Amino acid sequence: MAKKKPGGGKIRINFRKNRQARTRQGNLARQCDAQALESEEGFDVFDTTVSSERLSGRGSLTRRRTVVGQRLAEENASGERGDFVVLPEVSRQTLKGRVRVVYGLHSTVEAEDGRLFTCVTRRVLKTIATEQRQVVVAGDRVHFRDAMNPDQNEGIIELVEPRFGSISRTSRRRKHIIVTNVDQAVIVASAAMPALKPNLIDRILVTCDRAGIAPIICINKIDLVDPAPLMPLVGVYAQMGYKTALVSTKTGFGIDTLRPFFRDKETVIVGQSGVGKSSLLNAVDEGLSLRVGVINADTQKGTHTTTAAELLRLSFGGWVVDTPGIRQFALWDIIPEEVIGFYRDLRPYENLCHYPDCTHTHEHGCAVKDAVADGRLDTRRYESYLALRAGELET
């Protein structure tokens, strides 16, 4: 007897509640009145409803279905949990491509030969019960079937390959993946208009370390302020091994130093609204010609000029993803006890504490607190850790 492939074959999985139409339809009284005019009994409407279900769990009301495919491992190589319970089996006639941008129900996919297809997603992928908010995101590597439309390139996404390097956050208690399959992330902040938010940088750094993505901290608009007060903050990040850059898209300062970081890499640009992410990409590669917005002088906030994450090809080699501005960034799949493990500067002191389960908040004999008091650790970074540890992971 032939052996089955590990994790393959027929697999019973859960589907979302909207997998099928409601079995018991609403407005039964109105339907009954309407049929009463055509039938003398007027009770035929009840013959189409389902009143019971088999105990085996295979009735028409159950959400479990059988899918032929292969299971994903519990975690991928970077330690990130898999996004799909199962990869459905697909036909060998499918094409391979990369998702460039997603607008609603349609995704723009670039095939291996360079052709662009407007694709919809296979129903079984959209209805598998997962914790993620969306099925297909920018940067996904997919298998799709050509719809053979002679007028325009259209297709159906049949399978999404396992992901790595995903920037994600919590949105309404579900996983919102901003972009996936990237090597590095350029965290863009502004020295002014809007004001610099180091705590937001810390949150994104935690996510990058969690996903195995190399972060680069870029502070834009230094032409609006004196750069000297920024040096202590930049020095703290540089001492931890993070690449940092001070740039100005208006004057061009620092752009030549930043450009080599993008060459032959797959990079995502992430940051709050109005910090100049699209302007930075236009300065790095003039051929992109991305649309930019202006800052509201009263609120000091930017507008969502970029409405969807889009994968773009750089003229000098490599890919970059321009993302919409972030106003809230709640961490995903990280419990408070894990936070200190993602703070590079605090982590070496963790094992020196008197208590093995020290929370580094109030205990006596805490090596982290002593290092902050002695000036060996930055006070702001410690306060940033306390904010996450105190329960701001989900806010």
Q: What residue segments make up the domains of the chain, in order of their start? A: 70-160, 180-322, 336-394
pTM: 0.80
Which of 160-174, 221-235, 346-360 has the least mean pLDDT? 160-174
Give residue-wise pLDDT tens across range 124-158.
888 877 788 888 999 999 999 887 776 778 999 98
378-387 CB contacts, 8 Å cutoff, 24+ apart: 378/236, 378/345, 380/198, 380/233, 380/236, 381/202, 381/236, 381/343, 381/345, 381/346, 382/346, 384/198, 384/199, 384/202, 385/339, 385/340, 385/343, 385/346, 385/360, 386/361, 387/199
CA distance 167 to 385: 20
Give residue-wise pLDDT tens across range 291-318.
776 655 555 555 557 788 899 999 999 9
pLDDT of 62 higher than 90: no
Give residue-wise pLDDT tens across range 250-278.
999 999 999 999 999 999 999 988 898 99
Mean pLDDT of the chain: 81
pLDDT of 343 higher than 60: yes
Contact 249, 274 (CB under 8 A): no
Neighbours of 204 (CB within 10 A): 23
Domain pair 180-322 / 336-394, same fold: no
Which CATH code for domain 70-160? 2.40.50.140
Domain 336-394 has CATH 2.40.160.60: no
pLDDT at 94 (0 to 100)? 85
Class of domain 180-322 (CATH, top level):
alpha beta
